Structure 1
């Protein structure tokens, strides 16, 4: 561990939908609450949670990784046959353009502030090297610098093909290996090298949606996080967590508080806390 820390907590955020469009309609229907439709107004941006999130991390002296998605658009890139399908809306509706002025501004703020920006490979890029390469090149052009690693959308992974794509495209790590429904150190306590070279896999320990819902019982959710921290500390582990930015909004009560407590408790226990890219550069990438 860097600087003799007992264990590490890697913080990651997949930027899927920073604007509440698709979810406004979805929640109005599934939660039977038409007030969600009010969030379709352009001046309402409940999922743009970045300012508060960055302020918190800056105040704690930590940095995280933000994985940026360059996904296809339902109405401009997909077949009309998909426009009325639930799958089409779920996968491609409400996505953002990384050249949008607001996204460009966010990327500049992240880059200049010391946060890591990584690649969030699109749904179909899991087994499409050319598409993944194009997304990586596009992101790096907009960002103005190269990216070190990333994670695939929906945690879609083909082993070892996806990792071969990452390595051959010049990426040094991947954080896809994990579950959207279960949490724990299922894939080990440390990053590993699937090809016995400089390319590294960071297993995902917990995605926020897999944890007990803090809006139902915050103490149950915190008990799960606390147990993971204890297990990480006891095993000198690298614990990697994923919090989507929209989970810091009022649509998902309790997850913001849970994240803040997780980070502060890890720091109190003497953990190294930061992004996978920083940990790779500090210690993991060296042999």
Structure 2
């Protein structure tokens, strides 16, 4: 039986990345060699690096883009979005929390992203995981197939954060593992990351050995950070498991809809 991993990246920062002041205020997160290159290569922009790593492992994931970036323009990502879509990755909307209460605002953001993606946007995740009971109805009305904005806790990984929910025809994928929660709330050290993924897979097999979904967020900006730089090892771990399949969110949603 298969454990499915829905692998996604939230692109939270403008393409130019964080300011040098912001990075240096968090310099303990980076190796000296990364900091030395900051003025030439902002360590918060990593989409091409992720694509290269995923290509090596034969993996395709989902990238969620905002349309409202602080001191930045979402259209700066047009070339990246084009490369992702042409290469077989999925692009979804990273909806602003201020938009979740108004269908008109959600539509405006969806339309903006579609204007540069040149494709229909069918997936959503709210920035900062904003969610309310009315959001699924609004998303369905606008043609979204799935959402992934729900997490019930910040400091644990359990069966409540696995699988999927249905709100009418909309599929909701709860977030099982998110980098920020691992490091900030669960206090997971770098050397504990792979054992954490292994124990999560083990739990998933107990929860549902026939069809279980583990949803992972690994932010675009963490790849050069301590902890976040373990992404390659995470893919090595996941792809080495005989019963694990890594998919884009839209592929999982299609599977779920076809079997119901």
TM-score range, shorter chain: 0.7 to 0.9
| 8 Å Cα contact 1:172-1:200 kept in structure 2 | yes
Largest Rg, 1 or 2 = 1
Give the whole-Å Cα distance in 1 for the aligned partners of 2:222 and 2:52: 16
Q: If the length of structure 1 is used for normalisation, what is the TM-score?
A: 0.78
Alignment partner, residue 229 of structure 2: 256
Distance 1:141 1:20, change over 3 A: closer
TM-score for both structures, normalised by structure 2? 0.86
Aligned to 2:177: 206
1:97 is aligned, of 64, 73, 86, to 73
Q: Which has the higher contact order (CA 8 A, sep 6+)?
A: 2
Q: Structure 1's 181 and 192: CA in aligned 2 closer, same or farther, altered over 3 A?
A: closer
Q: Structure 2 residue aligned with 1:244, among 207, 216, 219? A: 219
The 5 Å alignment of 1:192-231 reads 192-195=165-168, 198-212=169-183, 217-231=189-203
Aligned Cα root-mean-square deviation (Å): 2.6
Which aligned segments of 4 or more residues in structure 1 are displaced greater than 6 angstroms?
Answer: 35-38, 213-216
User: For 1:31 and 1:265, how far apart are their aligned partners in 2?
Assistant: 28
Q: Which runs of 5+ in 2 are unaligned?
A: none
Mapped partners of 1:166, 1:216: distance in 2: 34
Which residue is equivalent to 2:128?
A: 154
On the 8 A contact 2:64/2:91 being kept in 1, the answer is: yes
Q: Is the 8 A contact 1:155 1:179 kept in 2?
A: no
1:119 aligns with 2:63: no
The SS at the match of 1:47 is coil
Deviations 1:42-79 (A, max 9, x none): x432222112210111111110000010116xxxxxxx
Q: Please tell me whether residue 46 in structure 1 is matched to residue 43 in structure 2.
A: yes
Deviation at 1:208, TM superposition (A): 0.5
**Number of residue pairs the alignment of both structures matches:** 249
Match of 2:43, SS state, is coil
1:134-173 equivalence runs, <5 A? 134-158=108-132, 160-173=133-146
Deviation at 1:166, TM superposition (A): 0.9
Residue 161 of structure 1 and its aligned partner are, at CA, apart by 0.9
Change (3 A) 1:71 1:217: same
Unpaired stretches in structure 1, ≥5 consecutive residues: 73-92
SS at match of 2:93: strand
Is the contact made by 1:28 and 1:37 (CA closer than 8 Å) also made in structure 2? no
Question: Which one of 65, 68, 71 corresponds to residue 68 of structure 1?
Answer: 65
Cα-to-partner distance string for 1:170-210 (whole Å, 9 max, x where unaligned): 10100000168334235353212122xx2111111011011
Q: Distance in 2 between matches of 1:53 and 1:215?
A: 24
